[in-house]
Structure 1
């Protein structure tokens, strides 16, 4: 059990002990000071709360404090009457020092404290608690309906509605509890009066009968101690009663009691001038000391002047804020702001709140650094400048989910477990490697999320083990590569042209704006990127555009010429030095059927192939691709330059990841081995 919880239980046990067992005077002194300290702490807390629910434990605390004080009264009464007046140092000090040793004066002070507490504070707090409880219960149905209306209108979420309903229930419980707890304060005041009367009467009896003291001496001795005891108990009781009144009379506010009093009481500095003038007039026209009244009047005048200056500064600040708000409102109403709202980010990476550590550098996240490296890597590999990737959290996603959007549309989604590693099997599974089954998001391979303890063992078993940041980086890279052709528009193409113009101005001049426009060049570059052909070597691409741009405006055909000019680059991409290229060739009959189905129009060429023939060709392609994949080889389709583009268009919808090459796109020294043939049935 935590120490703070144990201390509360110990307090309750201590109250029982005080009621039964006589306590030494030293412990009584200690408990009296604790009582005063606790009462002072409670009133300070009640003054610094902004709304009653911040001190929701107050009703129960009030009961415990009241019982503690009454138990302490029993112990002090036992000490006063049973130890021949030896009730400890604190009570004697209050009896002698505080009231000057005069029992009659002390008794009058005690009676005044009781009257103030019982008639003014306790009675008022009790009434406010009763009315507050009644009004809170009466207002509950209306508040519930207001919450339901806001929820139905979409102004608040389900969570906010649930929190507001819970707060209403807590308020009702609190004011109901305070209505009952205020009775403790009232009973405490009555008990204090009764205990003092009993102590005085029986003190006289014990002093005269048991100690043989004269009436005057007995009355002085025991009355003085009783009054000291009464003051010791009534001062904390008065503080608690005041705290009760503060709590039940406080409404919800943006500040504590001190802030509200100073901000509202001194809200009108001119009234301070009036009050100061009135006090000064009292000193001038009455026998009251002019020194006292003039001092107070001066304080009020200086205070009013300072408050007035601060108020002027606040007005200036508010005017500036209103002007800024008005300008902002005008901006919102202007058509330009609406246009800004229509802007769509080229690439967005959104993630659930559980993946925030990925992007938070303070928690060790390096996603932002990885994004920079991805953009550099793609600039080198693909030759294009990847737009800025917008990274944001999205509470609509599951905590461990992330989403990748291209131009506002989601194109990929994945899930990460930050405290695990992704392990991909080498082909032969190890039974000792267990985890949560998943799919590698970039390439769709079966994988496992394994704990950190199994990481080393999985690596020794041949598994490919990747941490979550690397998983998401790879996925993001592959998604951008796949959709690179969508990310290069005319504006991006113009930037590439301007960059090339700095070093090859004559070449750029021969290509654009005549014979090819920026849009024509953009279509060629997009065609290349669609089939993952890098456009980094822009000089060679523009040399080809300059050569064939005069001959045709068909951007698809120009793309085929550009691909042939990039034969060395394409060959190197699909073959390693000294290795053969294993391909699936297209039979002559299929190529003839495709060539015969090509139709030319003024807008370009397209393939007008019989559906049954197209289906037969596709089935043959799919069969050969699957057979080649089963052997662990990357499938590549090879055909003549005349039909390459149409073969690509035919299979693009079904197997876009399979490259289609022509004979002219391969270097002459590359060894080509055919492992399959596409037939048309």
Structure 2
């Protein structure tokens, strides 16, 4: 334990000891001055804080100082009632305040207590309560604002974490201040009670035990009581003032003194008006000019001095800003920044700005936050921040989605229309602009608000523009998720898994598999829309088979088999049956015979004529199954599955290819078509 921590602990223990053990009057006097010094220091600190969180320990310090002050009260009360003497400091303050008149001094003391209790303490308590309530109510909005800025690319992940932490600490601070202000209120009440006890009991002790007359006892113990009250109320008043300052300060860029002078004297003309009013008050009322004229002159001189501030040359400021920008462009760092490529970019024309502008009701930023959460659950991958920006080179209603700087999708939106998807037939009375749904290429129409209800009556699916673009972004990110998973992202996933499965991770990486090997396996899973969220099962399979092979294709097949339950639930309609297209024995033999084995791995080298026939046969079965409004799925043996996928993915990239080992044994499989090759 460091000396600083040990000192704090000893001080807290000493405060508790003060409540029980009598202290010498000399030590009491010393501690009273220490108490005043701490109170003054706290007040000065509170005035120099730019924001309350810079003094976040204040609620706990307030409790300790209140406890210390109560301990002093107990010690001085014990000394007053037992010896009739509480040290030089108490007696000096008592004599000074009373000034020879016990009644006047006592009244002054009561006024001081009332000011502290009714004005400062009561106000600080109320402000603390309201600040805590509003801070807690504003937390969700602040968190959403941080997420929106993060998705817009305005801040980094580290900055977002820092801002979230600040919001949380701010809520904790104001909640603590709400409770800590009750200590100040209780201390004020306790002081009043202690004063009453000291006077009454002191007079009784002085008359009955010390043999003093009533007037002598009243005078002596009133002096001591008032002195004790003053030396405790002055620090209490300073602490109460500091509490009020802390809870009334809002986030600012400067301390209280700088802001007070800057804002109070920001309008010199008002000082002239105040000077004139004070001067007239002296001229037309019995108030002496010797009192009003110096104040009026002082205000007038202050207004004159403030109005003489040199005006800032705006043209000079613009030149300096241009010079700074020019110098920044000349630095090597500015060129390096241009090399950075954002993982995901969403650009749109100026006509679509209302989509992202919250002031115009746009909620695109919030939708992208939900998309990232949804894909994290569905794919098990943390999608990078989507950089959103407008692009004047695009058409007004056009948008473009880029992955790692390359355009992968584009579309067009009409913000004052709705997209109506055809139910399978066209209703002539539904008028609109013919188009295609951007996510799945389905025929659709842009219809007006007046046509919306009519389209819904004819079973059209009507979608608003924000939902159209959100769905498009979601599907594109799903299709390119494997490109967004790099080695760094894979390392982050492994580190997260290691928190709970350290032994499993150590068995897989760095031996026998590197991060690059694992990234290739996870990328191949994502490419075929298989979620990698269940990393423990994936790593179990890699641990079992990684010692035998490091071929990513082979390892992927083993992992897919380990994820059989997940894949089954992903493609089965009701969980009990699955309709598929199978390969004939001749077709599977053709694939197996076309596999070439080399020292660098196995690959498919089929004759172009035969591969064309195979693709045509698959396409024929897929079209028939699609016409029956069923999802086409190819089912084959585990030995040829990855080669079949490699063969058809160029022509039908979204067609799932499964193997028998990837399906649950209890699942009923129905073959509705067979791929045959003559």
For the residues of structure 2 that align with 1:532 and 1:306, how far apart are their CA atoms? 70
Deviation at 1:626, TM superposition (A): 1.1
For the residues of structure 1 that align with 2:429 and 2:482, how far apart are their CA atoms? 44
Query: Tell me, what secondary structure is at the counterpart of 1:623?
Result: helix
Alignment of 1:411-560 (within 5 A): 411-560=408-557
Distance change in 2, residues 1:607/1:448 (3 Å): same
Residue 629 of structure 1 corresponds to 626
For the residues of structure 2 that align with 1:594 and 1:330, how far apart are their CA atoms? 63
Residue 643 of structure 1 corresponds to 640
Spell out, residue by residue over 1:366-414, the C-alpha distance to the aligned partner (whole angstroms, 9 max, x if none).
1110000000000000110011001111111111111111111111111
1:375 to 358, 372, 376: 372
Deviation at 1:334, TM superposition (A): 4.0
Query: Tell me, what secondary structure is at the counterpart of 2:445?
Result: strand
Distance change in 2, residues 1:363/1:329 (3 Å): closer
For the residues of structure 2 that align with 1:452 and 1:344, how far apart are their CA atoms? 40
Deviation at 1:505, TM superposition (A): 0.9
Residue 389 of structure 2 corresponds to 392
Residue 212 of structure 1 corresponds to none
Residue 310 of structure 2 corresponds to 310
Residue 356 of structure 1 corresponds to 353
For the residues of structure 1 that align with 2:309 and 2:433, how far apart are their CA atoms? 67
Distance change in 2, residues 1:460/1:309 (3 Å): closer
Residue 573 of structure 2 corresponds to 576
For the residues of structure 1 that align with 2:657 and 2:494, how far apart are their CA atoms? 28
Spell out, residue by residue over 1:323-349, the C-alpha distance to the aligned partner (whole angstroms, 9 max, x if none).
x87776565444433221111111111
Aligned pair count reads: 377
For the residues of structure 2 that align with 1:357 and 1:327, how far apart are their CA atoms? 33
Deviation at 1:314, TM superposition (A): 6.5
Deviation at 1:469, TM superposition (A): 0.6
Deviation at 1:430, TM superposition (A): 2.4
For the residues of structure 1 that align with 2:537 and 2:583, how far apart are their CA atoms? 29
For the residues of structure 2 that align with 1:412 and 1:608, how far apart are their CA atoms? 32
Residue 344 of structure 1 corresponds to 341
CA contact (8 A) 2:596 2:604 kept: yes
Alignment of 1:93-172 (within 5 A): none
For the residues of structure 1 that align with 2:428 and 2:307, how far apart are their CA atoms? 78
For the residues of structure 2 that align with 1:314 and 1:446, how far apart are their CA atoms? 61
For the residues of structure 1 that align with 2:508 and 2:547, how far apart are their CA atoms? 9
Query: Tell me, what secondary structure is at the counterpart of 1:477?
Result: helix
CA contact (8 A) 2:579 2:672 kept: yes
CA contact (8 A) 2:508 2:539 kept: yes
For the residues of structure 2 that align with 1:631 and 1:583, how far apart are their CA atoms? 13
Residue 618 of structure 1 corresponds to 615
Distance change in 2, residues 1:509/1:578 (3 Å): closer
Spell out, residue by residue over 1:564-613, the C-alpha distance to the aligned partner (whole angstroms, 9 max, x if none).
00000000000133542111111111111211221222322111111111
For the residues of structure 1 that align with 2:586 and 2:382, how far apart are their CA atoms? 42
Query: Tell me, what secondary structure is at the counterpart of 1:473?
Result: helix
Query: Tell me, what secondary structure is at the counterpart of 1:508?
Result: helix
Distance change in 2, residues 1:373/1:659 (3 Å): same
Range 613-622 or range 573-582, more displaced: 573-582
Query: Tell me, what secondary structure is at the counterpart of 1:395?
Result: coil
Spell out, residue by residue over 1:211-251, the C-alpha distance to the aligned partner (whole angstroms, 9 max, x if none).
xxxxxxxxxxxxxxxxxxxxxxxxxxxxxxxxxxxxxxxxx
Distance change in 2, residues 1:577/1:549 (3 Å): same
Residue 653 of structure 2 corresponds to 656
TM-score (norm 2): 0.53
Deviation at 1:318, TM superposition (A): 6.5
Range 579-588 or range 354-363, more displaced: 579-588
TM-score (norm 1): 0.53
| Unmatched tracts of structure 1, length 5 or more | 1-301
For the residues of structure 2 that align with 1:330 and 1:564, how far apart are their CA atoms? 59
Name which one, 1 or 2, has greater alpha-carbon Rg.
Answer: 1
Distance change in 2, residues 1:319/1:455 (3 Å): closer
Aligned residues: CA RMSD: 2.5
Spell out, residue by residue over 1:513-545, the C-alpha distance to the aligned partner (whole angstroms, 9 max, x if none).
111111111101100000000000011011111
For the residues of structure 1 that align with 2:318 and 2:431, how far apart are their CA atoms? 64
Residue 155 of structure 1 corresponds to none
Query: Tell me, what secondary structure is at the counterpart of 1:559?
Result: helix
For the residues of structure 1 that align with 2:441 and 2:638, how far apart are their CA atoms? 32
